[in-house]
Amino acid sequence: MSNPYKNQALLRKVQAKARKIGVTVKPSTRKNKKLDVFKGGKKVGSIGAVGYKDFLLYKTTEGNKKANLRRKLYKIRHNKHRKIVGTNSYYADKILW
């Protein structure tokens, strides 16, 4: 499966979300990840497993209702680590979900 964030329209949407938290993103150089996260030009993590959908992908393929349900379940499932600033889980939560 290929990286959906090589699509420029999708990439621009996640780049806008990344700017809000002070980081930048690019399609990942790791074959199994969607995005690489950079802060101050330094790579701080890779987020999003290729092969799994995130909020934006659910929204574009299955609609708002399904996307909102999946977002809610993601946030419950990852609640322990998603609030720790600087972790991959934090960046995934803020950028992909």
Q: Would the pLDDT of 1 be above 80?
A: no
| pLDDT(16) > 80 | yes
Instruction: Quickly state the pLDDT bin for 2 (edges 50, 70, 90).
Output: confident
Q: How far apart are CA 44 and CA 66, in angstroms?
A: 31
CA distance 28 to 67: 23
Find the distance separating the first CA and the last CA of the chain, reported in whole Å.
20
d(CA 67, CA 54): 8
Amino acid making up residue 67: A
pTM: 0.92
Integer Cα distance of 94 and 86 in angstroms = 11
User: What is the rounded average pLDDT of the residues 36-43?
Assistant: 97
pLDDT the model gives residue 32: 95
Q: Specify the pLDDT at position 48.
A: 97
Judge whether 96 and 48 are in contact, CB under 8 Å: yes
3-state secondary structure of 52: coil
